[in-house]
Amino acid sequence: MTINRRALLTRSAALAGALALSKQNAIAKALEQTGLKELYQDDFYLGTAIGHARLTNPPTGFNALVAREFNALTLENDMKWERVHPQPEQWVWEYADKFIALGEQHKMFMVGHVLVWHSQTPPWVFNDKNGNPVSREVLLARMKSHIDTLAGRYRGRVHAWDVVNEAVDEDQGWRQSPWFKQIGPDFIEHAFHYARAAAPDAHLMYNDYNMHNPGKRQCVVDMIKRFKQTGVPIDGVGMQGHIGLGYPDITEFEKSIKAFAAAGVAVHITELDLDVLPTAWEHIGAEISDNFAYADELNPYPDGLPAKIEAQLAERYAQWFALFLKHRDSIARVTLWGTGDSESWKNNFPVRGRRNYPLLFDRDYQRKSAYHSVAALRK
């Protein structure tokens, strides 16, 4: 049977319309029920991260769903240096402004991500016009100017900032980033001082992944104590929370919560997602430069999760949220790194082209078993 092009386009348009209506109906159904933020309102802020696509072109009802479920909001990428300040004299405010407007509309706790990071920072920041590394003094001046402009623009409107991101490597020493090499380890202290001056009322955080690692934990604890002794204004530590069905050891994660709280800062779970796919060559973490070749055995659920894995995901989420509730006096916020599975970076990291299921809502924004297991802890 042959189908002419007009018939094919008509059929495709009808199918697209049906799928869009189905997603809108799913979101509308979810909105009829009590959101997680109400269930956890006496415990900690409950947040999500919003990416460029959902910020600029959300499905019908998406913003209302986010507002119903969450009371904290992080912008996934568009406040990072390469997006918001791609050239020395160029600033791109459109998306950050839209993010702020969305959060303020719904009276959310707003998180700025991120002021100083080695990754997703354009080369011009670290180099001169000839491609040579700039001096300590020049790089500090660029850091200060960036923080003054970005944090200053949203002064009083962004309630917490990830000031420095991922400055400790997996060997529990300082990451040998351009910030470290060209300035020295005190680049972190300068960043926090600049941030306090630009945003005096904001909650200032150090943020990192694999914070359950005992060596990394101790390195960060030592840093916090030193900062407290020397007057560096640090208020919180962000534990990113990129976890899986079999890792990390939850008891080690709990030790880190206790250690950071004991050092005198608030604990934030900043980028929570739960990977259900096989690890790629024992890769665990969030080093975004890592990249592994696709293989079918690393993408075992292209058509949906088996019931057994769905149940494991729900049980694992309940286990982690039970831990957060146990330490709610130390935890200020728990933020999911995305709302629905289709948005998650875990579909492409560290292997592009996989289909992952790491969040509480599915690709049609219906509540998953994992969502209900988290909700059940507070009902």
321 close to 376: Cβ distance less than 8 angstroms? no
CA–CA distance, 337 with 50 (Å, rounded to integer): 8
Reference 192, options 156, 222, 224; nearest CA is 224
Q: Which ranges in 199-263 belong to alpha helices (H)?
A: 214-230, 250-262
- Kindly state the helix (H) or strand (E) to which residue 113 belongs, with its residue range: strand 109-117
Active site residues: 166, 271
**What is the C-alpha R_g of the chain?**
21
CA–CA distance, 111 with 234 (Å, rounded to integer): 15
- Residues 6+ positions from 358 with CB-CB distance below 8 Å: 273, 274, 275, 276, 337, 338, 341, 344, 346
What phi-psi label fits residue 24: left (phi over 0), alpha (psi between -120 and 50 degrees) or beta? Answer: alpha
Max CA-CA distance within the chain? 78
253 close to 222: Cβ distance less than 8 angstroms? no
Reference 312, options 358, 250, 362; nearest CA is 358
162 close to 115: Cβ distance less than 8 angstroms? yes
